[in-house]
């Protein structure tokens, strides 16, 4: 049985970090970026970079990014030996959603 989670992220602030989510002992994560359904804001040109951690404290950038370039797609990532994940806003867009959601499913 998988674990579902939603992370809020600020696409208007460069280097904003979402809260981290413990994913151990999951082996796979699927992530989907959507605007907050309660507002009419968009993802715009904001880009999020996935960060991984083996101990929950020290995070490093992964090659996976989420953006509006392919809306509606899901990004799957192998999570072997990963304890926690979070997302960092690597490209900000001042007109984008400050409460965008990352829907995550871990299995």
What is the secondary structure of 41-75 as a DSSP string? -B-TT-EEEEEEESSSS-EEEEEEEE-SSSTT--E
| Euclidean distance between CA atoms 94 and 103, whole angstroms | 22
* Mean pLDDT over the full length of the chain: 89
| Euclidean distance between CA atoms 64 and 79, whole angstroms | 12
Spatial contact of 12 and 46, defined as CB atoms under 8 Å apart: yes
| Euclidean distance between CA atoms 59 and 39, whole angstroms | 31
| Confidence at residue 1, expressed as pLDDT on a 0 to 100 scale | 62
- Check whether 17 has a pLDDT greater than 70: yes
How much is the pTM? 0.90
Give the pLDDT band (50/70/90) at residue 68.
confident
Give the pLDDT band (50/70/90) at residue 41.
confident
Give 20-33 pLDDT, tens digit per residue: 999 989 999 999 89
- Check whether 65 has a pLDDT greater than 70: yes
């Amino acid at each position: 049985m998988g674990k579902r989670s939603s992370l809020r992220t600020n696409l208007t602030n460069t280097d904003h970090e979402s809260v981290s989510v413990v994913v151990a002992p999951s082996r796979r994560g699927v992530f989907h970026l959507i605007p907050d359904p309660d507002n009419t804001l968009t993802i715009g040109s904001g880009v999020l970079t996935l960060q991984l951690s083996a101990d929950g404290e020290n995070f490093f950038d992964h090659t996976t990014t989420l953006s509006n370039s392919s809306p509606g797609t899901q990004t799957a990532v192998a999570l072997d030996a990963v304890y926690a994940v979070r997302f960092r806003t690597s490209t900000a867009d001042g007109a984008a959603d400050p409460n965008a959601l990352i829907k995550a499913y871990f299995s």
